[in-house]
Amino acid sequence: MPSTFASFTAVLFFASTVAAEVCHLYSSTIESPCFTLLRNESGYEVREYRGEEMWTSAYVRSPSFAQAQNKGFMANFDYISGENSEGEKIPMTAPVTFRSAPDDQVGWLVSFFVPSKYPSREEVPAPKDESISIMSLGPATYAVRVFDGFATFGDFDKNEYELKKALLADGVTPVEDAENGVIWAGYDSPFVYVNRHNEVWVRVA
């Protein structure tokens, strides 16, 4: 996915004083969910997501993040490549997100954003793979920290820690016990080697 770091930085500068809706965050050709940038703080920004967007989510029954990255990505990729009820090829989007499975399950939920060409859940092709479900996250506000590189579990974990530390210093309380309280997100294909874009989202009140 091509980098648009300069234009993204310009958007952040403008939005530091005025809330602005941002779409196509990282590429003019790869669709990503729209959000309203509420403010830009030192080390993180605060975004409000509408919650209308849908996601395909593959459940990977393993505590290993590396396995989740591989198996979860491929399950979703097979789905958009035609392994669905319509045999339809669905455009690739960004980001790919990672969340811990609900408390009663062990593993990860790995998700692709469903393109806006599908305006309702009923129009989204049904997955053939039973490990994949179609879901929405609901409206929410997230503090987001951005970092680069080929992100490992340790990289995401470190940046989550740094984000929570910054929030604590600013008197912002994370809503960690909420569903989807922490989300890890990657925006690049494996074939992008420089200027990679990763994010940690922590839900805030």
What gap in Å lies between CA 114 and CA 197, rounded to an integer? 20
| Greatest extent of the chain over all pairs of C-alpha atoms, in Å | 50
Model confidence over 59-108: pLDDT tens digits? 999 999 999 999 999 999 999 999 999 999 999 999 999 999 887 788 99
Helix (H/G/I), strand (E/B), else coil: 85:
coil
Phi-psi region of 171 (alpha: psi -120 to 50; beta: other; left: phi over 0): left
Express each pLDDT in 125-137 by its tens digit.
999 999 999 999 8
| Tokens 């859940």 sit on residue | 121
The DSSP call for residue 31 is B
| E strand or H helix at 44 | strand 44-49
- Which part of the chain is CATH 3.20.80.10? 54-136
User: What is the mean predicted confidence (pLDDT) over 158-168?
Assistant: 97
Residue 202: CA count within 13 A, CB half-sphere: 22
Question: What does the block give as tokens for 61?
Answer: 């029954």
pLDDT at 4 over 60: no
Of the chain, the end-to-end C-alpha distance in Å amounts to 32
Higher pLDDT: 22 or 196? It is: 196
54-136, what's its fold? Multidrug-efflux Transporter 1 Regulator Bmrr; Chain A (3.20.80)
